[in-house]
Copies of this chain bind each other. A is one copy, B any other.
């Protein structure tokens, strides 16, 4: 199992290339992409910032939790940092298992926990106003 932080947009195939195991009949891959809208506003791009050592260690905890809860064979997660364009891949989660049930459930668990627990922050750039850090209650003054 592997958790990593990487500069710039990701490539799904490169991230999941290590997920090979002849016992496995199922691979589930989640790709989080920069979309051109969020909560009704047009987004032109964004930056991710991470506290890398804690993001990696907390990500490893999430992967280990998934492996304890489901009989998966391997799992990987890579999260991007830096400036990303619309359509760029910000995070990839890949899981392999003998059967699809565990692969789907573990992949969903991992991305939910990754988004909620890792010290990674997103600053969106908008068509109609200054950039804002997502999930902070007051707008950042640019």
Contacts and interface: CB of A to CB of B under 8 A. Distances in A.
Contacts of A26: 30-33
Contacts of A125: none
A104 B98 contact: no
Most interface-central of A20, A33, A34, A111 (chain B CB within 10 A) = A33
Contacts of A28: 28-31, 107
A35 B13 contact: no
A108 B33 CA distance: 20
B33 A30 contact: no
Given A28-B28, A29-B29, A104-B108, A35 B12 contact: no
Interface in A20-51: 20, 22-37
